[in-house]
């Protein structure tokens, strides 16, 4: 056999084995190389040619199936978590709308901020708003939904430009016609959402008495009111029944955000669901009745009060109002227009904010007015404070040097602490009082005056003579250092200065030779 033929024969016999071996060894390399080279071209071409058709087809075919499956799974999970007694009550209350209510648990938790119009107008807020995607809350002009932002982290929160509040809770004071110069009582005020709202409506006039029977909760209330700017405010911690002796028929407006079983909290607080089963509803009903009865005596003829809860229970809502009206014929319900998705309650004139009808977690609200011709005994009194800032040389020197304060401002002194008050402040004898008026600061050994954080937070920068303002955009590091209590440095005159963010006060520093000693309260860091 010739050599060529033998070679061809061997090649023919070995080619399959060789090719198979090479294919096995090289296929991954070859495929990977081809895939790397051709994928972009192929995918781009397919994407361009087929994306609309594929997406439309998938969307049409799968959307309903996916949504139905998720809805079914979520509904089972939600209903399994809810107490059987609660579900039975809600089915009886809502009938055909029960399924819609259950579906509302799958909606996002709605969160809101309420702009402090005492510090920034709504028009100016739109110019400085640092957040994305804010949306108006329809029943509260100052209210905004927020979504992806964290408003408590922004220095505007520390400056008191807004209060973080659940959207349906904003309806309570929004629906109560608070006028300038009104005397207002918030009976269950902590943590301060409705009190800060009332402060904004009073706009530095009248008197707000913010009360919470729990002293520890009243301390939280005090902090929030201070940040918001609490001029013309008394903060007390007392059983409302004890107020009747001193303040009978004194108030123009009263807010009762009553303690309740908290069913509106179920979506955002798993603990609320668990604790509900152990609650005695009659306990809350007794408290609610006591609050309403006390308010009836504290309100002036012609005055209005608002009763609200965050429960869906008819026993704690309409039931309390029906019982109250049966015992107090000097009161009548004030009708509230059913705008913005608000629903009527089971009692004409009362309203409900249902979580399946509005973007909120739920509230009950009822406005009540005391008839103008009501015959009641009224305690008439006038604040007997006569001392003024100008009467104390140390106070006079401080306020002349650092502020544009009216030196005829009436003041109250208690253990060296100085409060600004006005003629309309009710007496606080035998009432447990945390603050009576605006806390201005403290006299130290009758030699010097130390200004309070409240003073810094209650006025605009134009009220102060020495101001250092940082930009939230270009000097945010300095702002953050200040809010952490760190020492700052600046070549300014010695003495007290107000630190601002974008011209909104944050608190005090005391300058000495270019070193700014931080006076921001440690409790707020």
Per-residue pLDDT tens digits for 79-104: 888 999 999 999 999 999 999 999 99
Q: What angle do CA 449, 451, 455 make, to 5 degrees?
A: 145
Mean pLDDT within 199-226: 96
- Measured distance CA(200)–CA(511) in Å, rounded: 33
- Whether 2 shows a pLDDT value over 80: the answer reads no
Kindly tell me the burial class for residue 513, based on how many C-beta atoms sit within 10 Å of its own C-beta (0-12, 13-18, 19 or more). Answer: exposed
- Give the active site residues: 310
Whole-angstrom Cα distance, residue 226 to residue 322? 37
Q: What is the pLDDT of residue 101?
A: 95
3 state SS for 415-454: CCEEEECCCCCCCCCCCCEEEECEEEEEEECCCEEEECHH
Scored b (16 or more CB within 10 A) or e, 90-101 reads beeebeeeeeeb
At 485, is the pLDDT very low, low, confident or very high (cuts 50, 70, 90)? Answer: very high
Instruction: Provide the strand spans (E) within 320-457.
Output: 331-334, 343-344, 351-353, 363-370, 411-414, 417-420, 433-436, 438-444, 448-451
Residue 28 burial by CB count (10 A; 0-12/13-18/19+): exposed, middle or buried? exposed
Mean pLDDT within 330-352: 95
Mean pLDDT rounded to a whole number for the chain? 87
**pLDDT at residue 53 is higher than 50:** no
Residue 383: the pLDDT is 57
Model confidence pLDDT, tens digit, residues 161-186: 999 999 999 999 999 999 999 999 99
Give the rounded percent of residues in the chain with a pLDDT score beyond 90: 73
Q: Residue 151 carries which DSSP code?
A: G
Band (pLDDT 50/70/90 cuts) for residue 293 is very high
Q: What percent of the chain has pLDDT over 70?
A: 83
Looking at residue 525, what is its pLDDT?
83
Q: Has residue 32 got a pLDDT over 60?
A: no
pTM of structure: 0.84
Secondary structure (3-state) at 233 = strand
Statement: residue 41 has pLDDT above 50: no
Shortest CA distance to 341 belongs to which of 110, 137, 193? 137
Q: What is the pLDDT of residue 25?
A: 45
C-alpha span between 335 and 348 (Å, rounded): 8
Nearest in space to 197 (alpha carbons), one of 155, 238, 141:
141
* Greatest Cα pair distance in the chain: 137
* Alpha-carbon distances of 44 from 30, 31, 34, 39, 47, rounded to whole Å: 21, 19, 15, 8, 5
Cβ atoms of 515 and 521 within 8 Å: the answer is no
Positive/negative CA dihedral, 269, 211, 521, 163 = positive
Interatomic CA distance for residues 264 and 258, integer angstroms: 13
Tell me the C-alpha distance between 329 and 253, whole Å.
18
Question: Tell me: the pLDDT tens digits for 229-271?
Answer: 988 999 999 999 999 988 999 999 999 999 999 999 998 888 8
- For residue 118, what are the CA distances in angstroms to 59, 122, 199, 322, 456? 49, 10, 8, 37, 14
Q: What is the pLDDT of residue 164?
A: 97
The stretch 56-67 carries a mean pLDDT of 49
Alpha-carbon span 521 to 508, nearest angstrom: 9
């Amino acid at each position: 056999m010739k050599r060529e033929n033998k070679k061809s024969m061997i090649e023919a016999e070995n080619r399959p084995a060789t090719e198979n071996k090479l294919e096995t060894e090289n296929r991954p390399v070859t495929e990977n190389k081809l895939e790397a080279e051709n994928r972009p071209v192929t995918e781009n071409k397919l994407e361009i040619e087929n994306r609309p058709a594929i997406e439309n087809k998938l969307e049409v075919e799968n959307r309903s199936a996916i949504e139905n499956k998720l809805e079914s799974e979520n509904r089972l999970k939600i209903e399994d978590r809810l107490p059987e007694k609660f579900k039975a009550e809600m089915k009886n209350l809502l009938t055909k709308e029960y399924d819609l209510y259950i579906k509302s648990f799958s909606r996002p938790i709605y969160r809101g901020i309420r702009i402090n119009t005492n510090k920034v107008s709504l028009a100016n807020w739109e110019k400085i708003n640092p957040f994305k995607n804010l949306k108006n809350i329809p029943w509260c002009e100052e209210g905004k939904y927020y979504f992806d932002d964290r408003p408590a982290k922004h220095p505007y929160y520390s400056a008191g430009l807004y209060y973080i509040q659940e959207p349906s809770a904003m309806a309570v004071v929004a629906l109560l016609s608070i006028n300038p110069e009104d005397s207002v009582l918030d009976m269950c005020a902590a943590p301060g959402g409705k009190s800060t709202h009332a402060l904004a409506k009073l706009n530095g006039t009248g008197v707000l008495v913010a009360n919470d029977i729990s002293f520890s909760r009243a301390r939280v209330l005090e902090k929030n009111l201070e940040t918001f700017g609490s001029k013309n405010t008394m903060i007390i911690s007392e059983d409302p029944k004890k107020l009747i002796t001193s303040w009978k028929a004194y108030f123009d407006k009263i807010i009762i955000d009553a303690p309740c079983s908290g069913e509106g909290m179920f979506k955002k607080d798993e603990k609320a669901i668990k604790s509900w089963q152990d609650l005695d509803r009659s306990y809350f009903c007794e408290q609610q009745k006591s609050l309403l009865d006390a308010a009836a005596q504290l309100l002036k003829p012609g005055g209005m009060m608002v009763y609200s809860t965050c429960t869906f229970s008819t026993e704690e809502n309409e039931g309390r109002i029906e019982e109250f009206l049966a015992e107090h014929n000097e009161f009548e319900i004030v009708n509230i227009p059913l705008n913005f998705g608000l629903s009527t309650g089971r009692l004409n004139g009362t309203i409900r904010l249902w979580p399946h009808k509005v973007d909120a977690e739920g509230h009950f609200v009822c406005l009540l007015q005391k008839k103008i011709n009501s015959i009641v005994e009224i305690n008439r009194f006038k604040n007997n404070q006569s001392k003024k800032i100008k009467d104390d040389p140390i106070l006079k020197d401080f306020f002349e040097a650092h502020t544009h304060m009216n030196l005829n401002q009436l003041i109250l002194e208690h253990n060296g602490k100085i409060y600004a008050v006005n003629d309309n402040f009710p007496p606080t004898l035998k009432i447990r009082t945390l603050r009576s008026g605006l806390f201005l600061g403290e006299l130290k050994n009758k030699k010097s005056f130390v200004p309070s954080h409240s003073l810094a937070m209650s006025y605009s920068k134009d009220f102060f003579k020495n101001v250092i303002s940082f930009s939230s955009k270009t000097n945010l590091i300095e702002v953050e250092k200040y809010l952490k209590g760190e020492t700052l440095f600046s070549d300014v005159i010695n003495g007290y200065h107000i630190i601002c963010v974008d011209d909104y006060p944050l608190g005090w520093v005391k300058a000495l030779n270019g070193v700014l000693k931080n006076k921001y309260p440690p409790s707020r860091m």
